[in-house]
Amino acid sequence: MKKVLALVMVLTLALLAVPGLAEMKEFTYVVPRTVESLEDSPFHIAKRLLEKEGYTMHIQEAFGTTDSKMVATNQAQFCGPGPMYILSAVAEGLPIIAVVGYDAINIWGMAVLSNSPVQSFDDMIGAQEKYGRKLTVALGDPSWEMLVTPTLIAAGVDVVNDLEFVVAGENRYVQVAEGKLDMLFTWPGECWQLQGQNYDFVYIDGNEVLKTNSNPLITSTTLIETEPELVQAFVTAMQKAIYAVHYKPEAAAAIMADVFPNIDVTWKAAKFIQEGRCYQMFGKPGSETEARILSAIGFNWEDTWQLNMDAALESGLIKEPLPMDKIFTNQFIKADLDYSDVEAFMDSIDIASVASRYVAE
C-alpha cells in the first residue's frame, strides 16, 4: 500500500509540474523499442493525417522507464503496451486508460520450422513424454513469458513441465531457424516478415485458442480531461490509419520504405510485414473477427478484455476484478467515419516507383 501511495504522489506532483496543456498541438507517441520498425505503418500514416489538422506527432523510444509510466506522468501522451501491463498498472493506481483498440486480436503465437514435429499447440502438450525433453521457446526478453503464458494455458499446455523459456536476444529467430531452439515466441507482424525473408517458418496462431485483444493504445486520464480535442484528433487519425493499411497494404509498404530507406529488406518482405500488421489489427481475411472490427475500427470490446482480466486474475497479476470503465473508453471512437480521403491518399502512392528500388525476393 505504501508503494502504491508513493507512486500516486509522484504522479500527482509530476502532473502538477507540467506546463499548461491548453491548445496542445505537439505530442509524443512512445514505443518500448527502436522506432525504426517497418511494422509501425499506421502511426506514420496517422502522423501525415494529423499534420493536415495542425498537429505534430513525434514517435520516440522510451528511455529509463516504461512507456506506460511516461504516459502516466505526461512525459509522453500515448503508447501501446500489452493488456497485462495495462491491467497491472491500473490496479496499481496509474492514471492511464485505453482509447484505441489497435492489435484487436490475440497476437501472441509461436513460429516453428515447417519440418518440426511441433505444428500446433496440441503437439506441445506432454512434451517430455512425446519428445523426451521440454520444448525450448526463444524469447527476446524475460518479461515476454508473461505475454504468451495465458495463451499457452488456454491451449492446455503445461507451461512448467512442457516448456523451457530461453532468453535469446534480438536474433532469437536465427537459433530457431538453425534448429538450436524449438520454437520462436512471435507475432504476425514479425513472423510474416521472417517468412518474407524466406525463413521456413509456420505460424501457430494464439488467437485460435484464446480470442483476447492484444496491445491497445492508451493515454492518461488527465490528458482526456485537459486536452480532449487532442485525444479525439489522435484517435480519429489512428482509426483512419488502421483502415488505410487494411485498404492497401502494398501502399503502406511503400510509405514505410520511404520513411526508413536504410532498412535492408526485399520488396516481398516489405509487403509481408504489412500483411502481418493487418492480421494483428483485423484477424484472418474474411473471418467474423475481421467483419466485427471493420464495423467499428478502434473499438475496445468488453468480451475480449474480460478474457484478459480472467487470465490476469488466474495468474495472480491482479488481486481483484477491475471496473471496465477504468480499463478502456470508447468515447472517442467514431463509428460513422468517412474513409474516402484516406483511400484517395493510399491510391496516390506510387507503389511501382518504390518497389523498383528493392530486390523482389
CA distance 285 to 277: 12
Q: Is the pLDDT of residue 116 over 90?
A: yes
CA distances from 56 to 53, 102, 234, 278 (A): 9, 21, 11, 25
| Number of domains into which the chain is organized | 2
Give the angle subtended at the CA of 31 by the CAs of 26 and 35, to the nearest 5°.
Answer: 90
Residues 77 and 122 in one domain: no
Residues 203 and 221 in one domain: no
Could you give the 3-state DSSP secondary structure of residue 184? strand
Could you give the 3-state DSSP secondary structure of residue 79? strand
CATH of residue 139's domain is 3.40.190.10
Residues 99 and 168 in one domain: no
pLDDT in tens, 251-274: 999 999 999 999 888 999 999 999
Greatest mean pLDDT among 1-10, 57-66, 329-338: 329-338
Beta-bridge partners for 59: 29
Q: Is the pTM of this model over 0.75?
A: yes
In a domain, 228, yes or no: yes
CA distance 67 to 79: 6
Q: How many CB atoms lie within 10 A of CB 34?
A: 8
In a domain, 360, yes or no: no
User: In this structure, what are the phi and psi dihedrals at residue 11, rounded to the nearest 5 degrees?
Assistant: -65, -40
Q: End of a domain among 181, 208, 235?
A: 208
Residues 181 and 293 in one domain: no
CA 30 to chain centre: 12
Q: End of a domain among 162, 178, 208?
A: 208
H/E stretch holding 238: helix 228-247
Residues 287 and 313 in one domain: yes
Amino acid at 303: D
Residues 134 and 34 in one domain: no
Q: Is the pLDDT of residue 169 over 90?
A: no
In a domain, 192, yes or no: yes
Residues 226 and 302 in one domain: yes
State the Cα torsion 268-274-278-281 to the nearest 10°.
Answer: 150
Residues 240 and 350 in one domain: yes
Q: Is the pLDDT of residue 6 over 80?
A: no
In a domain, 18, yes or no: yes
In a domain, 88, yes or no: yes
pLDDT confidence band for 5 (50 / 70 / 90):
very low
Residues 150 and 222 in one domain: no
Whole-number average pLDDT of the chain: 91
CA distance 241 to 247: 10
Which residues contact residue 305 at a Cβ distance below 8 angstroms, ignoring those fewer than 6 apart?
83, 212, 213, 324, 327, 328
In a domain, 361, yes or no: no
Q: End of a domain among 160, 189, 208?
A: 208
User: In this structure, what are the phi and psi dihedrals at residue 19, rounded to the nearest 5 degrees?
Assistant: -60, 165
User: Measuring CA to CA, which residue among 201, 210, 207 is closest to residue 119?
Assistant: 201
Residues 323 and 247 in one domain: yes
Residues 113 and 239 in one domain: no
Residues 162 and 30 in one domain: no
What's the pLDDT at 65? 67
What's the domain range around 298? 2-104+213-355
Cβ atoms of 255 and 41 closer than 8 Å: yes
In a domain, 237, yes or no: yes
DSSP labels, 105-173: S---EEEEETT-S--SSGGGTTHHHHHSSPEEEEESSTTHHHHHHHHHHHTT--HHHHEEEEE--TTHH
CA distance 2 to 10: 12
Average pLDDT, stretch 56-68? 87
Which of 153-162, 240-249, 261-270 is predicted with the least confidence, judged by mean pLDDT? 261-270
